[in-house]
Homo-oligomer: A and B are copies of this chain.
Amino acid sequence: MARSPTNSDAFAAIAEPRRRELLGALARGDGERDVSWLVADLGWPQPQVSKHLAVLRQVGLVTVARSGKRRMYSLNGLKLREVHDWVKTYERFWDHQLRRIKERAERVERRGREATDTDRQH
């Protein structure tokens, strides 16, 4: 079997760095812009932008609305929230880690001071 398709879910879709860039561009544009604006902003070939937008649309990370010959793409925050909610369940692991690192830094600093004091006494 091969890799999971990029359009299988939001996680697979945002694995591609350029698609994260694309979401960033949409965010800069207040979350709602047409393709031409994105092409100008990113400086990529237009077909590439359209293709990446298609993947983002298939997983629901963006939505489209026709407006004359333009197509307005909008960020779908709720889909991004699914990613957020998943990763947030691991919050305690970086909290713990930060606490451990901080405590160790304090220990080291304390020891460092003591060592310096000892040196001074010589």
Measured CB to CB, the residues of A under 8 A from B are 3-4, 6, 9, 11-12, 14-17, 20, 23, 27, 31, 75-78, 80-81, 83-84, 86-98
Of all chain B residues, the one with the shortest Cβ separation from A14 is: B11
Q: Which residues of B contact A96 (CB under 8 A)?
A: 31, 77
Q: Is the CB of B77 within 8 A of A95?
A: yes
A51 CB, nearest partner CB in chain B, Å: 13
Chain B contacts for A92, CB-based, 8 A:
77
A87 to B27, CA, bound (A): 12
Chain B residues with CB below 8 A from A76, complex form: 93, 97
Give me 7 A-to-B residue pairs in the complex whose CB atoms sit less than 8 angstroms apart, sorted by A's number: A4-B17, A31-B96, A77-B95, A78-B94, A80-B90, A84-B84, A84-B91
Given contacts A3-B6, A9-B17, A77-B95, 11 further A-B contacts (CB under 8 A): A11-B14, A12-B15, A31-B96, A75-B90, A76-B97, A77-B90, A78-B94, A78-B97, A78-B98, A81-B94, A84-B88
Complex contact B90–A23 (CB within 8 A) = yes
